[in-house]
Structure 1
Amino acid sequence: MTIRELAYLAIRVMAVYFFVLGLNHLVNYLDFALPAYLQVLGEDISYGKVFLLVGVPSILLLVISVALWLSAGKLSRSLVPSRSGENETSPSFRGVEAFVLAVVGLILAILAITTLARMLLNYANMDAQNLYIDNRSFYISLVEQGIRLLLGIVLTVKAEGFAQLLRKIRGNRA
């Protein structure tokens, strides 16, 4: 199995994971969060608006999982660049290390995006309802998720560079 085939398989597994995670969140929102929101907010808000508010992160996870599944081939080619000098039948540790860092970055970015969507929708809804918002804790959480998103994007895009940096830190330049 080549490293590109391994990448393709890992992306497909990650797509299934995000799909199951999205369904799990959607069921939890429908069972617990949606009735609670409807009780707290009263009659001046529609069921559809509340569903949109609490369902967007779940729907985002489902859409991302389908996109990952459909673009697994293209994504695996971009995450694992081809090298003319390497033996394709036996993946090297260097290639696997860079790929794992890229996958971790992708997971961080996707989870941060869904969390940011949930936070921003909740903030907008609470602001529209004139409810008390603890701005300090909201901004701290917003910065935290922003840092996670940036870290995920940088890890995904520059995985090979981080793998080289880790090898230098370990003293292994191979």
Structure 2
Amino acid sequence: MKIRELAFLVIRVLAVYFFALGLNHLVAYLDYSLPAYLQVLGDDASYGEVFLLVGIPSILLLLISVALWLSAGKLSRFLVSSNSEEEASSPSFRGIEAFVLAVVGLVLAILSFSSLARILLNYANMEGQRLYIDHRSFYIALAEQVIRLLLGIVLILKAQGFAKLLRKIRGDRE
């Protein structure tokens, strides 16, 4: 099995994981969040408004999982360079290390993206309802998710470079 084939399988496993995570969030939304928001907001809120506030991050996770599943081939070709076509039975640690860093970046980016959507929609709704907003907590949560998203994107795009840097730090020869 080649590293690219292994990458394809890992991306498909990630797609299943994100789908399960999205379903879990959706069930929690329907079971807990929807009744709580409707109770807090009272008669002023409709199901559509509450769905936009709470349900979109769940739907984003489900859509991302479907996109990952459908684009696993293209994504595995992007994440694993063409010069790392060696067999996984005699794995090249260099190729696998860079691939794992890219997958970690993908996970960070997807999870932080859905969290950013949740935070921003929640803020917009609370601002629209003229409810009290702890701006300090909001900005801290926003900064955390932006940093995670940027870290994920950097890991996806520069996984080979980070793997090379880690090898140099460990003292491995090229």
Quick check: TM above 0.5?
yes
Q: Counterpart amino acid of 2:142?
A: L
User: Could you say which residue in structure 2 is the equivalent of 1:72?
Assistant: 72
2:111 matched to which residue of 1? 111
Q: How far off its partner does 1:52 sit?
A: 2.0
Shift of 1:44: 1.0
Shift in Å, 1:49: 1.2
Give the Cα–Cα distance (whole angstroms) in 2 for the partners of residues 146 and 47 of structure 1. 29
Q: Which residue of 2 aligns with 1:4?
A: 4
* Distance in 1 of aligned mates of 2:86 and 2:96: 13
TM-score, normalised relative to structure 1: 0.97
Aligned to 1:140: 140
What RMSD in Å do the two structures reach over aligned CA positions?
A: 1.1
Aligned counterparts, 1:149-160, within 5 A:
149-160=149-160
Report deviation, 1:88. Answer: 4.0
- Residues in 2 aligned to 1:136 and 1:23: alpha-carbon distance in whole angstroms: 31
Q: Secondary structure at the match of 1:19?
A: helix
Q: Per-residue displacement from partner, 1:1-54 (whole Å, max 9, x unpaired)?
A: 100000000000000000000000000010000000000001011111101211
Identity %: 78
Deviations 1:110-136 (A, max 9, x none): 000000000000000000000000101
SS at match of 1:22: helix
5+ residue gaps, structure 2? none
CA distance in 2, matches of 1:87, 1:4: 9
